[in-house]
Amino acid sequence: MGLLDGRVAVVTGAGRGIGREFARCLAAEGASVVVNDVGAALDGAGADETPARQTCDEITAAGGRAVPSHESVTDYEAAGRIVQAALDSFGRIDILVNNAGIVRDRTLLKMTEDDFDAVMAVHVKGTFNCARHAAGPMREQGYGRIINVTSSAGLRGNFGQTNYGAAKAAIMGMTFIWALELGRHGITVNAVAPAGATRMTASLFERSGTPPPPEADPALNAPIVAFLASERAGHVNGQILGRTDYAFTIFQHPRQIAFMWRDGGWDPAGVAEHFDQILGQHLQPVGMTMPTGMEFRAPSTRTST
Ligand SMILES: NC(=O)c1ccc[n+]([C@@H]2O[C@H](COP(=O)([O-])OP(=O)(O)OC[C@H]3O[C@@H](n4cnc5c(N)ncnc54)[C@H](O)[C@@H]3O)[C@@H](O)[C@H]2O)c1
What pLDDT does 304 receive? Answer: 52
What pLDDT does 6 receive? Answer: 98
- The percent of residues above 70 in pLDDT, for the chain, comes to 94
- What is the CB-side half-sphere exposure of residue 157 using CA atoms within 13 A? 6
**Residue 28 Cα to ligand 1 middle (Å):** 21
Q: What is the pTM of this model?
A: 0.95
Does the beta carbon of 38 lie inside 6 Å of ligand 1?
yes
Q: Is the pLDDT of residue 238 over 90?
A: yes
DSSP codes, the chain: --TTTT-EEEETTTTSHHHHHHHHHHHHTT-EEEEE-----TTS----SHHHHHHHHHHHHTT-EEEEE---TTSHHHHHHHHHHHHHHHS---EEEE-------B-TTT--HHHHHHHHIIIIIHHHHHHHHHHHHHHHHT-EEEEEE--HHHHT--TTBHHHHHHHHHHHHHHHHHHHHHGGGTEEEEEEE----STTTHHHHHHHTSPPPGGG-GGGGHHHHHHHTSGGGTT--S-EEEEETTEEEEPPPP--------TT---HHHHHHHTTTTGGGG----SSPPPTT-----TTT----
Mean pLDDT along residues 282-299: 69
Is 8-250 a CATH 3.40.50.720 domain?
yes
**Residue 123 Cα to ligand 1 middle (Å):** 9
Please, which pLDDT band fits residue 207 given cuts at 50, 70 and 90? confident
**The one-letter amino acid at 2:** G
Q: Look at ligand 1, atom 31, and give the residue with the nearest C-alpha.
A: 72
Average pLDDT, the chain: 95
**Residue 11 Cα to ligand 1 middle (Å):** 11
Q: Look at ligand 1, atom 38, and give the residue with the nearest C-alpha.
A: 13
Q: Is the pLDDT of residue 110 over 90?
A: yes
CA distance 39 to 94: 24
Q: Is the pLDDT of residue 303 over 50?
A: no
Atom of ligand 1 nearest to the CA of 15: 39
Please, which pLDDT band fits residue 298 given cuts at 50, 70 and 90? low
- The residue extents of the domains of the chain are 8-250
pLDDT digits (tens, 9 = 90+) for 17-38: 999 999 999 999 999 999 999 9
What pLDDT does 208 receive? Answer: 87
Q: Is the pLDDT of residue 296 over 70?
A: no
**Residue 34 Cα to ligand 1 middle (Å):** 16
CA distance 32 to 26: 8
Mutate to test the pocket of ligand 1, among 21, 76, 99, 147 (most ligand atoms within 8 A of CB): 99
Is 164 an annotated catalytic residue? yes
pLDDT digits (tens, 9 = 90+) for 156-206: 999 999 999 999 999 999 999 999 999 999 999 999 999 999 999 998 888
- What is the CB-side half-sphere exposure of residue 301 using CA atoms within 13 A? 4
Residues in the chain: 305
Does the beta carbon of 16 lie inside 6 Å of ligand 1?
yes
Mean pLDDT along residues 269-298: 82
Q: Look at ligand 1, atom 2, and give the residue with the nearest C-alpha.
A: 195
Q: Is the pLDDT of residue 1 over 60?
A: yes
Atom of ligand 1 nearest to the CA of 37: 34
